[in-house]
Structure formats: structure tokens, C-alpha cells
Amino acid sequence: MKVTTDACLFGAWIASQIVKKELQPERILDIGTGTGLLSLMIAQKSVAAIDAVELEENAFRQAESNINKSPWKSRIKVINSDIKHFLSAGFYDIIISNPPFFENELESPDIAVNLARHDEGLTFIDLLNVVNKRLSESGSFAVLLPYQKLEYFERLAKAIGLYPVIKLMVKQTPSHSFFRGIVIYGRIKSAFSYNEITIKDVSGNYTEQFVALLKDFYLHL
């Protein structure tokens, strides 16, 4: 499974919220961990215990291998399970997910790719139901979504009592429209913080804002 720039940005931004004390987790749940990227990034900037759940067996084995080679393996538990049937003791302070979001696009003939990219394994409603059951009363749910899916997802979230707290809208360049949104949800309805970030400037170089977020994670920034 490839590591995408937007997934790296997601992990780095959530980690930055922990560093700034906007989020103060003791327990974190990573739904659909894939390679383990998000768990590894967040473990570097927190002292939280992390449960990283992955359904697809090959991805699970890759995540397990990556995490076992890391300095944070004692705090990250990789679990091969369907999150809809995953059982855990207690609730989580933060739940993170980079969910399947190619529901209406051409599917790959590869079943593993479909599970990773489509809603065959986990629909938005499934995801939100799991979050609602596993999130503590004061907890936060962070999700990375295509920009065009944000309004739809927010309606589903509000229906179960989850409301946006912080939004980060993402552009590839100044001349592009927004293509991703990162949203942190909570159980209390209030005014939310709105932010924007552009990955590259007009010259094709990473912006200062992007570099500031990713410099601790990228080798050549």
C-alpha cells in the first residue's frame, strides 16, 4: 500500500494538535491502519497507547512489521480484525481514520485494493457507528476525507451527535481547489475552528506551512 502525501499531512497535523495540547489522549484507536503510518507518526508525538486495527491481512502484516521495527512498538498494538466486530476494554480519547472513500469511482479488480479504497468493508455509516460506540464522552474523532464528501459526512455525523470542532481544508497548489478535508469531531456542539493549508507553492516547492508540519517526519525537508 502506498503512503500518500495527504495521509502524511493528516498524521502530522493530528500529531501537532497533541503537541499543542489541543488533544491530550491516553488511548487512541486507529481504524484501518494500513501500513501503520498514522499510528507511527502520532506515537512519536504522544505517550498514548494505540490500538491499530486493520482488516486486510497483507496490510495488517505490513503494519505489524513496520511497527515492530520502530522504537514505539511497546505502545502500539496491531490487530487483524473487522472494526465492526472489534472488542476493546473501555473507550478511546482519540479515534483516527483515513477511511475508504472511493465509493462511486471505478473499482480495482484486486479485492484487497477494493477493501482499502471502497466501502465494501466499511461504509461511512459503519465507521460513525463504531466511533459513537468507542469514543469517550470528552473524546475526539479525526478523519481525512475528499473535499466533496465533507458535507455528506458531516450530516451523518450530526445525526449521531458528533459535531465539527476543527477543520483543515487542503489544496495541492494555490491555483487548485480544495481536494481534501481533515476534520476533528466531538460530542459538544459549538463554533469550530477553520484552517487552510496548501501543499506546494506556485514554483512547485513545499510551502513553509507544510514543511513546518512534516519536517519531523520527512527525511529531506
Domain positions in the chain are: 5-213
SS (H, E, C) the chain: CCCCHHHHHHHHHHHHHHHCCCCCCCEEEEECCCCCHHHHHHHCCCCCEEEEEECCHHHHHHHHHHHHCCCCCCCEEEEECCHHHCCCCCCEEEEEECCCCCCCCCCCCCHHHHHHHCCCCCCHHHHHHHHHHHEEEEEEEEEEEEHHHHHHHHHHHHHCCCEEEEEEEEECCCCCCEEEEEEEEECCCCCCEEEEEECECCCCCECHHHHHHHCCCCCCC
| pLDDT score at 221 | 75
Please tell me the number of Cα atoms within 13 Å of 2 on its side-chain side: 5
Per-residue pLDDT of the chain (221 residues; tens, 9 = 90+): 568 899 999 999 999 999 998 898 999 999 999 999 999 999 999 999 999 999 999 999 999 999 999 999 999 999 999 999 998 889 999 999 998 654 444 344 554 444 444 445 679 999 999 999 999 999 999 999 999 999 999 999 999 999 999 999 999 999 999 999 999 999 999 889 999 999 999 999 999 999 999 999 988 77
| pLDDT score at 115 | 43
pTM for the model stands at: 0.89
Judge contact between 78 and 54, C-beta under 8 A. yes
Judge contact between 190 and 165, C-beta under 8 A. yes
Domain 5-213 fold is Rossmann fold (3.40.50)
